[in-house]
Every structure is written in C-alpha cells, then in structure tokens.
Amino acid sequence: MTSPTYPSSLDVSPGQPTSVVQYNRLRADALTLGAAPEDAVALGGFLSSYISGVSITYLAANRLRVQYDAKFPPTLMIRGTMCQATANVDLSAGSFSGGAADWYIFANRTAGNKAFTLTVNTSSTEGADQRLIGVCRWDGSALDSASIQTYASGQSSNKTAVITLQAWVTYTSQTSYTAAGVCHHLLDFARLKAGAKSAALVTNLYATSGTAYARFYNTTDSVTIVELSTTATAAVTMVKSADILSALPNGLVETRFEWKTSGTRADCYWGALVIEY
C-alpha cells in the first residue's frame, strides 16, 4: 500500500468547471487526508477522542481543578466539538455528598462557550454534552486526593518523581529549627502536582540520643508541610510520611528542608519529596 498524496486536490482557475474527480479529491483531503476511505478512518472519528493538556488535580476543600498552562492549554473534543480552556477549570464547591463512592469526572460543553466546565456524578454515563475524563473517591466525608485519576491519552501512570531536598552526610546538635542550617528550594507545585496520586517526604534520619526531627517547610506561606521524627539510632533508618499531596502548595513557593534533635545529635544523610503519578 502506497502512502496517500496530500493534498490530492489541485488548484483551479476562475471559470473552470468543477469535475467529479476534483470534488472527490477535495472530499478525500478533508475526510482522510488524501487516503482511500478503506485505508483510513475519517478525520472526525480520528479526533473524536482527542485530549491534550488535561490533568485533574486536588483543590482544597474537596474540589478538583484542571490546571491551565498557556504553553499546553487543556484541549479536548466533547461530542465532536473542539473545546479549549483559557484559565484554570475548577469544580464547584459542594459537588460531593452522600456515602462512600467512586465519583466520575466530566468535562462539559456549553453553547456559546469554547472552553469547558467540570461536573461529577456517581454514574459514568456521559450526557449529550459531556466527556468522561476521570474518576475519584469520596469516602463519605472527604475527597481522597490520592484517588484522583485522569483518563487521558499519554497520561503518566505508575511513575514516580523524586525531588532531592538534601543529599550529603550531615548532623546537628541544634534543638530548634533555624533558617541558616537548612536546604532551600524554589519549587513549582502547580506542575509537580499535576496528575499526581500521592506524595510523601522520605528521609534517612536517626538520633544519637533523644529524638531526631526533620521537616519540609513552606517558607513563602510560613507553614510546615510535614514533620517526621524518629528515636532510631541505626544509620540505615529510613523514615517516610503519610500521604501529603493535599498539604502541598498549589503554586511557585520557596521551601526548606531542615532538621533538629531533642538529644545530643541527629544525623540526616538524605531527604526527598517522592511523588507518585
């Protein structure tokens, strides 16, 4: 089978009659990019499931967001209509209720609007102007941020990002956190959280005596994201937090990774933010 010629139609001059050959070539260009109809699906069918730049993330207070990025704007087909967001698309507050259940996430088109909105439902059946784009879990009182999944072609899954916060052999005898003896970072959490299912702070931390502490701190907002502690004295001790995805900021912020002891000495060889997608 030879590759189709595209475009297969030819230029015409004013006054020339339109032949059936030229008409059929124009139609083939429009429908199948010049390919024979038995060799290729029609362009509309090919693009009917198109989706790009759509990643559903957790938004505080039991809401969802499709993050907008001007370089990769959220774009998708909804029942044959091309839709593209021009700003963050947020789920309305109070959309979840009732007992524990899986809730399905839909992109919705509206006449006169080229963008789309978000709704959720316990049924996965698409309405006339809807596109099923994801699912999440409501536990009866709160949205499980780690359960959010985006149904998207090329969506990352079963992958892990490790953001190293500090990576050298160090120890401290200080009994309080200080802005001087720490590791500073500038992190864009809007990008890091896009499509993430869970996140955790992991560190190789141990104490000579007393308790060793390490914390991941949001300097921009003066908020502790998570703090870990251990009384273990073995140098191989690894400490991992519970899921902190919902506690991570939503934009570009400065952070610190720092450590202290309640005893004579705490050692911290390595620390990282681990995000699973």
Q: Which domains does the chain have, with CATH numbers?
A: 51-150 (2.80.20.10), 160-276 (2.60.120.260)
Residue 75 scores a pLDDT above 70: yes
pTM of the model as a whole: 0.55
Q: What is the identity of the amino acid at 85?
A: A
Q: What is the pLDDT of residues 165-185, one digit of tens each?
A: 988 888 899 999 987 668 899
Q: How confident is the model at residue 1 (pLDDT cuts 50, 70, 90)?
A: low
Q: Specify the residue for token string 């802005």.
A: 179
Q: Is the dihedral of CA 92, 97, 100, 101 positive or negative?
A: negative
pLDDT top residue among 180 and 189 = 189
Q: What is the pLDDT of residues 217-237, one digit of tens each?
A: 999 999 999 999 999 999 989
Cα distances from 151 to residues 52, 98, 129, 131, in angstroms, run 11, 24, 17, 10
Of the candidates 33, 35, 57, the residue with the CA atom closest to the CA atom of residue 47: 33
Q: How confident is the model at residue 155 (pLDDT cuts 50, 70, 90)?
A: very low
